[in-house]
Structure formats: structure tokens, C-alpha cells
A = this chain, B = another copy of it.
């Protein structure tokens, strides 16, 4: 990209990661770790393939991304963030936090979706209300992938992929999941938006924000 030509740390940062798509590439690498070019591309719906190659080269030159050629069990190239690239996490997370209200407002028509993107809202909204309790694991399944939400010692973490032993399994359209996570709708209302769940309801409500977890008792004195 063309440099801003300003002796300012914000401008210098944007000289390296201010290009279109660049911070979204960093997002994918933060969420997915070491990943192949093709999977990276699948996580960035809409990007042109030549742009992805260009950006990866530029990020490599900037010391943000490293290319990894594992020996022969694996025949492919992996891309990963360098430690310096990992240091972009606070910046990407801050942008993600700022964008959450725009996401709660609902998807635009035609918006693409990938399950790992839920990590930002999850880590923003969910909190363990019984931090001393045993670790809890929630699987989230969508049409476009799955993530696992784990809480141990009161800390919430998310990972892409499925879990063998989950205490509960959530599935449904992204907007219903977002409503539930953000506390904008409660569980019954989320179900009317298409959400389904099975497993330990207590485990689920332990992590959900107060409003979303309301009515978690099958019979409750109103």
C-alpha cells in the first residue's frame, strides 16, 4: 500500500495492515492458527485469490505472517502469524468489540457467515457465573462450521471445530445465536428464531447473560 508518510504510530501501523482485507486475514489467522491457503480463502468469502496472495506476501515481508513448509507427512504450505503478528490481537479484538452492536443489529441480506466469527461476541458477552464449578463445554453448530465454547476456572475460551464430549449442543442460524449470546432475547425466544439445543441446560445458562438465561427453570414462580 501507499504509505501515509506520517511519523505517527497509528499511521505506521496502518501502513502495514490498513489495506483492504488485511486485518480480516489477520482475524482468520488469529481464530484458526496455522492454516492452508485454501482454508484461509474459505474463511474469507468475497476475497479475490490474487489479493489474498498479494496480502500474504506483504504481511510476510512485514514480519506479520510466516510461511511454514512442513516436511513430508504434509504436502502443503501453512500460513501462521509470527509473534509480532499475534500482537495484533488486541487491535483486532478492539475493532471486533466496536463492531458488535452492528452485528447484534442482524446480518445484511447476502452476508456470508462462518462459525469462528462468533468467537468475538462470545468472549465479549459470555461469562461464567459459577467460576468455581467444574469446567463446562458447549458445542455450537451452524450451517457454516462449528465452534466449541469452554469455561474453566472462570475463563471463557473458544475454538473452531466440534467437541466429542460437550455438556450441551447449540445449533441454529447465526442471528438467533447472536441474540442469545448478546442477551437481546431469552432462550424460548431464541428457539422461535430457529435455535435448537440439547444437553445440560444448566451448563448453558451458567454462561449466558442474565436476560438470555431467564426462565431457565422448567417451573418457576413468576
Contacts and interface: CB of A to CB of B under 8 A. Distances in A.
A92 B10 contact: yes
A77 to B, nearest CB: 24
Contact of A46 (B5, B13, B23, B45): B5
Interface in A1-24: 3-18, 20, 23-24
Number of identical protomers: 2
Name the prevailing secondary structure of the A interface residues: helix
A100 interface: yes
A5 B112 contact: yes
Among A6, A18, A107: residue with most chain B CB under 10 A = A6
Interface in A112-166: 112-114, 117, 120-121
A193 B97 CA distance: 41
B45 A5 contact: yes
A55 interface: no
Interface string A70-114: 000000000000000001101111111111101100011011111
A8 B45 CA distance: 12
Given A12-B102, A13-B102, A102-B16, A5 B95 contact: no
Nearest to A15: B102
Nearest to A11: B24
B5 A110 contact: yes
B10 A95 contact: yes
Contacts of A3: 108
Nearest to A9: B99
Interface of A: 3-18, 20, 23-24, 27, 45-46, 87-88, 90-100, 102-103, 107-108, 110-114, 117, 120-121, 174
9 contacts: A6-B117, A7-B103, A8-B27, A8-B103, A10-B23, A10-B24, A10-B92, A13-B96, A91-B97
8 closest A-B pairs (Cβ-Cβ)?
A: A13-B99, A9-B99, A8-B117, A12-B102, A91-B94, A7-B107, A7-B111, A12-B99
